[in-house]
Chains A and B, each alone.
Chain A
Amino acid sequence: MFKRLFSILTLSAFIGISLPTIPSQAATTYPKRIISLSPSATEDLFAIGAGKQVIAVDDNSNYPTSAPFTKLSSFTPNVEALIAYHPDLVVIQSTATKSDAVVAQLKKLKVAVYIEHTPSSLQGAYGEILDLGKVTGNSNKASALVTTMKKSIASDIKGAKLATPKSFFHELDNTLYSATSGTFIGTVYKDFNLTNIADAAAKADDGGYPQLQSEYVIKANPDFIFLADAPDGETLQTVSARAGWSTITAVSSKKVLALPADLPSRWGPRIVEFYKFIASSIK
C-alpha cells in the first residue's frame, strides 16, 4: 500500500514540476501588443512599420490619425489602466509623473518597458527611431527612415543656411516663454545659423524655457518671430498690436510666422517637415 502511495506522490510531483510555467519572452519574439504613451514615439512606431503591433496610444498622440487613440494619459500614467490592455511593451516618457514608480510596477508585472528620454539633439531623435526599430523587429525600416531623414534635413540646411546670422524669437505662449538653444527645438534653429534671443536668459531656467520680458524682445529686435502658440490664436495682427512691438524688424517686415500645430513639440519623423518649414520661412 505504501508503495502505491509513494508512486502516486512521485507521479504527481513530476506532473507538478513539469507543468508549463509562463513562457518568458524569447529573444526573437517581438512585442505584438505595444502601448505608446508618447506622441513622438507613436509617430516613430507607425513610420517604421510597427503600426500593426500597436494596440493603444495616449490621448495626445493625434498623428497618424489611424493610431488606436485612447484616453490613457502620457503625463500621468496609471498602471492598472495600462495592465487592463494586457500589453507586452509599454513606451513611456521619462518625464511622465512618477515614471520611476510606474516603470517599477510594470516590471514587477513582467511587462517590458521602453523609457523614452527627451532628446537634446537630432542624434537623440535618430537613436530613438533605431531603438524602437530594434525592439519591435523593424530595424531595416528604421535605418532606412533615419537615412531618408538625414538626407532631407541636410539638403534643407544646405539650401537655406544663412551666410550671415539673423536673430529670431521662438514664442511658446503669449506670456513670452521661449526655448533656448539648449533645447531640442533650439538646435533646429541653430542648424540654419539663426541666433536665438532667448539664449541671453538661459540661466533663468535650467530646463531651457525662460520667460522673457517684453522690453527685452523689443530691444533685441529679432529678424524673425516664430509663433508656436499660433494654434492658440496668436497671429501677425495680434503680435503687432502689442505695445511697442510694431517697431520690431520681424513685425515690420512681416516675418512673423505661425508654426504648424504639434511640429515644434515632437521629435519624430515629422521633424523633416519642421526643417522644411524653417528653410522656406527664412529664404
Chain B
Amino acid sequence: MRILRSKTGGEELRSIWRWELTLSAALLLLIVGLLGISFGPINLSFSSIVKSIFGSHNALSEQDQSVLFDIRLPRVILAALVGSALATSGAVYQTVFRNPLADPYLLGAAAGAGLGATIAITNSHQNVYGLLPIFSFLGAILAVLVSFFISGKFFAEPNTLLLSGIAVGSFATAIQTYLQQRHSASLRPVYSWILGELTAASWSVVSWSAIYISIALFILFAIAKQLDGLMLTDEEAYSLGVNPNRLRIIAVIAATLATATAVAASGLIGFVGIVVPHLVRGATHRVTNRALPTIALVGASFLVLADLGARTLLSPAELPIGVITAFVGAPFFLIVLRRKRLVNQ
C-alpha cells in the first residue's frame, strides 16, 4: 500500500517554480554580457575589460577605453533592458489574451510607434534623434489607448481588444505609408528604424529607458503570481480572489509601458516577445507566470547575443538586429507548430 503524502507548502512551491532556474538565467546574462562587451570591429580582451571596469586606467588605450565605456557598455546594457522589456511584456500579453502567438506589439503599438517615428523624421530637420523617442513612445501609447476606446468598453473581452488593435494598426500604417511617399528622403531612416537598431545607444538613452522599464517590470513581477489566475475562466478567477478585469488592465498598462519604452529606444525589434517566453516555458516545462523574472533575464541575454551578431556578422557593416531575431524566430515558430501538431494528434 502506497502511503500518499501531501506535499508541504515549500515543496509545492518548488514544484511550481525553482529559484535555481532564475539564478542560472542571471548567470547566463552575465556571461553573454561579457561576450557582448568584448567583441565587435574592435576586439577587446576579457582581462583588460575587467581591469578597466575596476578602475585601472592603462589596461586599455584611451580610445579603446572610450569605445568600451561610451559605446559598447551602454549598447549592451540597452540591449539587455530592451530584451527583458519585450520578453516580459510578450509573456504577459500571451497570458492576458490566452493566445500563445501574442506579442508585445499587439493592440497597434508597433504601428502607432512607427507612425510617431515617421512624423518625427519627416518634420524635424535637425536633432531628429532628440524627438524620435518621444514621438514613437507617444505613438505606441496612444495607439493602445485608442484600441481600448474603440473596442467599446474598458473592460472589454480579449478578442474584441485584439480586433480593435488590428484596426488601429492598419490605420496607423496607412497614414505612415502616405507620409513616407510624400517625403522620399525619409524612406531610409524610417525603414532602418523599423528594422530596429541599437546604434544610437548612449548613457542618456540607457538612463530614461532603464527608469521606465524598471517601473514596468517591477509592476509585472509584483502581480506575476496573480496573473496565473488569468489562465482560468473569469468565474474561476473570481472564486480564487483574483479580479480578472482589473488585473488585465494593470498588466496591459505595465506591459505597454515596457513595450513603448523599448520601441522608443531601439525601434521595432520583433520576435523577442514571442520566442523567449516559449523558450523558457518549453525548457522548464512550466507555464506559471512566476517565471517572469527568468523570462526577463533570458530575453535580455537573447537580445545581447542578437546584437553581438548584428555587430560582428557583416562587420564593418551593421546588420539590423530585427533581421537576426527574425532568422531565429521564424524557424522557431515552425518547431513550436510542429510540436503542437504532434501533441494534438
Chain A residues near B (Cβ < 8 Å): 22, 70-73, 75-76, 78-84, 86, 95, 97-98, 100-102, 104-105, 108-110, 204-207, 209
Contacts and interface: CB of A to CB of B under 8 A. Distances in A.
Contacts of A78: 41, 199, 311, 315-318
B182 A81 contact: no
A97 B192 contact: yes
Given A71-B316, A205-B183, 20 more contacts: A70-B316, A72-B317, A73-B316, A76-B318, A78-B41, A79-B71, A80-B72, A80-B316, A86-B63, A95-B185, A98-B129, A98-B199, A98-B200, A100-B129, A105-B70, A108-B66, A109-B63, A205-B184, A206-B182, A206-B185
For the residues of B in contact with A, the DSSP-based class is helix
A109 B67 CA distance: 7
Interface in B228-285: none
B239 to A, nearest CB: 53
B50 to A, nearest CB: 20
Contacts of A100: 126-129
Given A75-B188, A80-B41, A206 B67 contact: no
A105 B129 contact: no
B128 to A, nearest CB: 7
Interface string B110-137: 0000000000000000111100000000
User: Which 8 pairs of residues, A with B, have the shortest CB-CB distance?
Assistant: A81-B316, A101-B200, A207-B185, A80-B41, A81-B41, A207-B184, A97-B192, A84-B41
Given A71-B316, A72-B316, A105 B41 contact: no
A108 B128 CA distance: 19
Contacts of B167: none
A204 B318 contact: no
A86 B66 CA distance: 13
A71 B183 CA distance: 29
A76 B317 contact: yes
Main secondary structure of the interface of A (DSSP, over half): loop
Contacts of A70: 316
B70 to A, nearest CB: 5
Given A101-B200, A205-B182, A209-B184, A83 B192 contact: no
A72 B318 CA distance: 10
Contact of B311 (A22, A80, A82, A209): A80
Contacts of B129: 98, 100-101
18 contacts: A70-B316, A72-B316, A78-B41, A78-B315, A79-B71, A79-B199, A80-B67, A80-B311, A81-B316, A98-B199, A100-B126, A100-B129, A101-B129, A101-B202, A105-B71, A105-B202, A108-B66, A207-B184
Interface in B40-95: 40-42, 62-63, 66-67, 70-72
B63 A83 contact: yes
A83 B61 CA distance: 12
B254 to A, nearest CB: 29
